[in-house]
Amino acid sequence: MISRPKGTNDILPDEIWRWHKLEAMIRKECACFGFKEIRTPIFEETHLFQRSIGEATDIVEKEMYTFLDKGGRSMTLRPEGTAAVVRAFVENNLKGAGLPAKLYYLGPMFRYERPQAGRYRQFHQFGIECFGSLEPALDAEVIMLAHELYQKIGVKDVVLKINSIGCPDCRPKYLEKLRSELAKYKDRLCENCQRRSITNPLRVLDCKEEKCQEVIADLPHLQDYLCDECSLHFTNLKKILDIWELPYVEEPRLVRGFDYYTKTVFEFCFDDLGAQNAIGAGGRYDKLVEEIGGESTPAVGFAMGMERTLLAVGDKWQKEPEIDLYIVSIGQETKEEALRQLLLARRHGIRTEMDILNRSVKAQFKQADRLDTKYCLILGPDELKDNRVKLRNMQSGEESEYQISEWLGGLKL
């Protein structure tokens, strides 16, 4: 037997309603906030990700699905959404349509990670990207949408963590300090961090290894190195969050796995998920559009992990019935009429099923129950002779008889 690739999932018909519901909530919220959908290719030229995410990040170093196409070009299955959206923003001159540009996307992402609960090699993200302002109001817009969405989805205990990681003016001073501090404790760091302390020292702050955590606890805080502009930006963002009474926790050690972030970074955590508890994250990237070849345009984005969000929802959502009507035919002579009524009902947009396995009447009712139908249309031979049918409301048990041309009027959906 051929199995699915490690770290991937089949989303089965029985659970797809949860995805549809989440997607519908996402689309509704995006419409409410004025974000428009953008769909970009699932693969891009490899150097787009190398240049934007950064060469010395885990994703680019070891997690990308990269391949040569038949023309010998290096392509990569997208590991995240921002780089591709920025590329599309520049290539299609979306700035020309006016700023702010507010975009959203939904779809699969690919990272060659070690699979575990909540961590997959193919997973889905919903993301938003908002272009066009240096003001903290832009960061706040993105954070507010994410917050509101989690509340509506029913993941109320989500914790918002925020931090500022500075800009190219102030961060280098901190990185220099960090490198020299880390050099002192080199022997106490894990192998990965020994390497990162030279190539990308900010990433050390994100290490979960216990021995590294001990070192990290004593390292200087980036916030003490922020320039006036970054510091004011962070203070003003917090003011807006306070006005809206959105709860947040300042997390001075919070950094992200991408090099493109400037100033604000944030994460939404849901503790019940264990190790993989981040259900969404984002930040500001004021230099990325320029780096990808566009005119300098500041921007902020957010991405939600859809699998993890659904794990956080757990069994809080109730499945809605998937059919409205089941046609029960009693005896062979009613089958022809049942077929006519089936087509008629479907043409009226009524979600309808009937038996096509030649089941007994008892088995047909059992199937109707299993499908959780709202109504049964019952075709009995005696009634049919008088052109009459019965309609049973499966919730109340109430049954009424109709002329065959009139039963549709008895449905209350």
Instruction: Return the number of the residue (155 or 170) whose C-beta is nearest ligand AMP.
Output: 155
Residues 285-304 that bind ligand AMP (CB under 6 A): 303
Question: x/- site string to ligand AMP, residues 314 to 333, per CB under 6 A?
Answer: --------------------
User: Residues 349, 299: contact at Cβ < 8 Å?
Assistant: no
Written as one letter, the residue type at 348 is H
In this structure, how many other beta carbons lie within 10 angstroms of the beta carbon of residue 272?
11
Nearest-5° Cα angle at 167, 162 to 173: 105
Maximum separation of any 2 CA atoms in the chain, in Å = 95
311: number of CA atoms within 13 Å, CB side?
21
Instruction: Return the number of the residue (310 or 377) whose C-beta is nearest ligand AMP.
Output: 310
Smallest separation, CB 400 to ligand AMP (Å): 50
Instruction: Return the number of the residue (114 or 370) whose C-beta is nearest ligand AMP.
Output: 114
Q: Does 305 bind ligand AMP (CB under 6 A)?
A: yes
How far is Cα 262 from Cα 254, in angstroms, rounded to an integer?
13
Name the nearest CA neighbour of 253 among 286, 288, 212, 199: 212
Site size with ligand AMP, rule: CB under 6 A: 17
Position among 49, 89, 104, 123 found at the interface with ligand AMP (CB under 6 A): 123
Question: x/- site string to ligand AMP, residues 237 to 266, per CB under 6 A?
Answer: --------------------x---------
Q: Does 54 bind ligand AMP (CB under 6 A)?
A: no
Residue 401: phi and psi, rounded to 5, are -105, 140
Give the torsion through C-alpha atoms of 236, 242, 247, 251, to 10 deg. 30
Residues 71-110 that bind ligand AMP (CB under 6 A): 80
Q: Does 307 bind ligand AMP (CB under 6 A)?
A: yes
Smallest separation, CB 2 to ligand AMP (Å): 23
Angle between helices 306-313 and 16-32 (to 10 degrees): 110
Residues 125-144 that bind ligand AMP (CB under 6 A): 125
Angle between helices 136-153 and 16-32 (to 10 degrees): 140
Q: Does 196 bind ligand AMP (CB under 6 A)?
A: no
Position among 18, 27, 95, 119 found at the interface with ligand AMP (CB under 6 A): 119
Q: Which residues bind ligand AMP (CB under 6 A)?
A: 80, 111, 113, 118-120, 123, 125, 257, 278-281, 303, 305, 307-308
